[in-house]
Structure 1
Amino acid sequence: MLDRVRACLRRYGLGSQQALTTVLVALTLLASAGIVWARPWVPPSTFILIELLGAFLLRMRGMVVLCAAIAVQFVAIPLAGLGEFTPGTFLLQGIAIAALLSFAAHRERLGLQGAPGELMIVDLRDRLAAHGVVPPLPDGWRVETALRSAHREAFSGDFVVTATRSAGSVLEIALVDVSGKGQDAGVRSLQLSGALAGLIGQLPAPDFLPAANAYLLAQDWEEGFATAVHVSLILATGEYTVASAGHLPPVQLHAGSGLVGLVPAGGGPALGVLAGAAFPPVTGRLDRGDTLLLYTDGLVETPGGDLDLGIDRLRGVVEGVLSTGRGDADDVIARVGAGEGDDRALVLLRRG
């Protein structure tokens, strides 16, 4: 996709930032001519459309040149007696320039430069989702995931990594909740998910969280912690081990009794907090019809609310939605009714 965009720009002679800047500045000159000689058809707000186009195509330096050209023309037209602007028009133009330069500076800090930068981050987001794609499983096993970002942003601080090992006889899944939410957490998720996707399934299960902890400590991020829960499941028997790093306890639906209980995975501290931390596992078993749920705190936590009550609410929803065998992960998230102020993630491991 990125190569296509670059080829399209080059095809029309716009492969460089200098060429794009020149074209957009020329458009501002045409806009000025229209404002002077065809004011009813070319209003001063035309400049804002050109600025928005520049914000999509130009890097910071080009945006500065474009905004400076517009500011000069906006002042020159009334000074030359070629037209007048109201105080409100000056104010609106000043706000637009300040906002778009701030936006361009923010993108520059993230390394998102011009249209290809936008496509690059979308590509990275797709790669993040790809790390959570579950490998083919034997008949009777099913894994469902549902992830919702805070305020429906493009990026989430919650992600899943999966792998199989021992010739496909063991499934490993880790659900991770990076500190923060939305885009800021999403940038860290992109980096961390790539590292954890390379670790899961390649190390013995007891070594996965210690290795993830060491990696996160080495990054030295300001908000450098994450919670995680890691499951290693033997597909032939349904036996599993769960290790937790500061994460909420999984929930298991026992099909035989209808009981929805908590898996007491006390585990260790959050990743990236304590060097050499231990993450002791607990064991369990999924019988036919059972479901194991992994989830993040955004699904059960409300500001000022009791976390235990949120978990109890989730257990009640699981009993009502999944015990019939017809509901899925999306149904659970919808019925829990958690707010959109935080990222939410849910993973269901189901044995048919």
Structure 2
Amino acid sequence: MSSSSSSVGARMRRSVGRLRRRTTSKETWWLVFLVAVTVFFFVLVTTWPRFWPLTLLVLPMVAAHLVLGPRVLPWFVVFNLAALTALSVVVTTRLGEVTAGRVIAVAVIFAVGFIVLLTSFRRSRLGVAGTIGESMLVDLRDRIMSQGMLPALPPGWYAESALRSAGGTPFAGDFVVAARPGWGRRLELCVCDVSGKGEEAGTRALLLTGAFGGLITSLPPGEFLPAANEYLLRQHWIEGFATAIHISVDLESGDFELRSAGHPPALQLNAGSGRWTVHESEGPALGLIEEADYAPVRGRLNHGDAILLYTDGMVEVRGRDIQLGIDKMLGQADRLLQQGFENGARRLIDTVGTRNDDRALLLVHRR
């Protein structure tokens, strides 16, 4: 008996030691606090069973779901459910009756416990608690999306980007990458549309934003889209294609080079005539064909001119030709940009396009 009990005690000490090593100091304090709360509720319900319901034990489980990691959370849920089982036996014995409400309460608590356990098993791949994982994801999104922030431009230039997600969340399959390499003389801009929409394409868009941000600053304009194409091919995604349009603008002369990868054409407003020019640039979508070639379209932004780069969510609607969508956007652009180019991209994206698809719009204006 003594050898048996000592071996059981040794195994328990080893289990506690492993659990202690797996937890951080902050998580340990949370665990101690929640265990104390559970014990307090246990005593409270045991002492006054007619006044305090069994469902009090749901509260520490829900709190643990927010602050405990996936390695510790299952142990706490098991402890909590074991305490509930013991508590229900004690309360039934003291009151001398079994009511339907108490049985339902126990069933509900067990259901919540199983839901928390399932969520914990799904989070085990990430290895952090719920709120920490969410903050990590938000921080990652903010850091990567900062590469799409437009750089400061010299006097005489104005640029603005606007993005809207199909789901109304900050995660979307459309994104913008911007940089000013070449000692600040050139402005490099890329508008990209990853296959899918909303949260479905959001993770791939985050990855591509970081990769494209590095490529656009380190490569000459003519090599950016071929390098981006090779990068997508190496990912071996099932739905691994994306469309993109890239423009490189000389901020001193206004000359630009435009290349497209399966993307809707760029639109240039000629200030002298007041007319719009459609810049068609042919090239396959990224991630489909090896060693694809992207022919440039060259032009110049004179004083007063503007150019629009956008994704298909701005002009494409099911059952309608894309050219009609472009004509509609040009009509709205003529009306809205007469009020000035400041905040023109935001005003235009809120007016044009379908709410069922991600939308991105980039406006560049030479004053």
The TM-score, its normalising length taken from structure 2, stands at 0.81
SS at match of 1:271: coil
Aligned-residue offset at 1:305: 4.7
Sequence identity, in percent?
Answer: 41
> Cα deviation per residue 1:49-98 (whole Å; 9 max; x = unaligned)?
43332222222222222322333333333333167544553454354334
The residue aligned with 1:5 is none
Which of 1 and 2 has greater Rg? Answer: 2
**Retained in 2: the 8 A contact 1:128–1:159?**
no
What's the offset of the Cα at 1:233?
Answer: 0.7
Residue number in structure 2 paired with 1:281: 296
Partner AA of 1:58 in structure 2:
L
Contact 1:253 1:323 in 2 (8 A): no
| Residues 1:190 and 1:319: Cα distance change in structure 2 (over 3 Å) | same
Give unpaired runs (5+ residues) of structure 2: 1-22
**Are 2:281 and 1:271 aligned?**
no
Give the structure 1 partner of residue 152 of structure 2.
136
Query: Could you tell which deviates more after superposition, 74-83 or 228-237?
Result: 74-83
Does the 8 Å contact 1:157/1:189 carry over to 2? yes
Give the drift of 1:264.
Answer: 0.8
Report 1:103-142 matches (<5 A): 103-110=119-126, 113-142=129-158
Change (3 A) 1:48 1:152: farther
Do structure 1's residue 351 and structure 2's residue 366 form an aligned pair? yes
Partner of 1:324: 339
Map 1:5-16 onto structure 2 (within 5 A).
Answer: 15-16=25-26
Q: 1:330 to 1:211 in 2, by over 3 A?
A: same
Counterpart position of 1:73: 83
Counterpart of 2:183 (choices 167, 175, 184) is: 167
Match of 1:147 among 134, 142, 163: 163
What is the deviation of 1:230? 0.7
Distance change in 2, residues 1:125/1:42 (3 Å): farther
Unaligned ranges ≥5, structure 1 = 1-12
User: Does the residue aligned with 2:226 lie in a helix, a strand or coil?
Assistant: helix
**2-structure distance, mates of 1:115, 1:24:** 16
Distance of aligned partners of 1:116 and 1:250 in 2 relative to their CA distance in 1, 3 Å threshold: same
* Offset of residue 136 of structure 1: 2.3
**DSSP-derived class of the 1:318 partner:** helix
Deviation at 1:261, TM superposition (A): 3.8
- The secondary structure found in structure 1 opposite 2:217 is coil
Deviation at 1:173, TM superposition (A): 0.6
- Partner Cα distance (2:59, 2:200) in 1: 28
Q: What is the SS of the residue equivalent to 1:335?
A: coil
Q: Are 1:294 and 2:309 an aligned pair?
A: yes
Distance of aligned partners of 1:343 and 1:144 in 2 relative to their CA distance in 1, 3 Å threshold: same
Greater CA drift, 318-327 or 330-339: 318-327
Alpha-carbon contact 1:255-1:323 (below 8 Å) kept: no
The corresponding residue for 2:239 is 223
Aligned length: 338
After superposition, residues 43-58 of structure 1 pair within 5 angstroms as 43-58=53-68
Retained in 2: the 8 A contact 1:112–1:118? Answer: no
- RMSD over aligned CA atoms reads 2.7
Cα distance in 2 for partners of 1:86, 1:306 equals: 62
1:244 to 248, 256, 260: 260
Judge which range, 218-227 or 341-350, deviates more. 218-227
Say which is worse superposed, 123-132 or 76-85, in terms of deviation.
Answer: 76-85
Distance 1:23 1:93 in 2: 20
Shift in CA distance, 113/77, structure 1 to aligned 2, threshold 3 Å: closer
Partner in structure 1 of residue 8 of structure 2: none
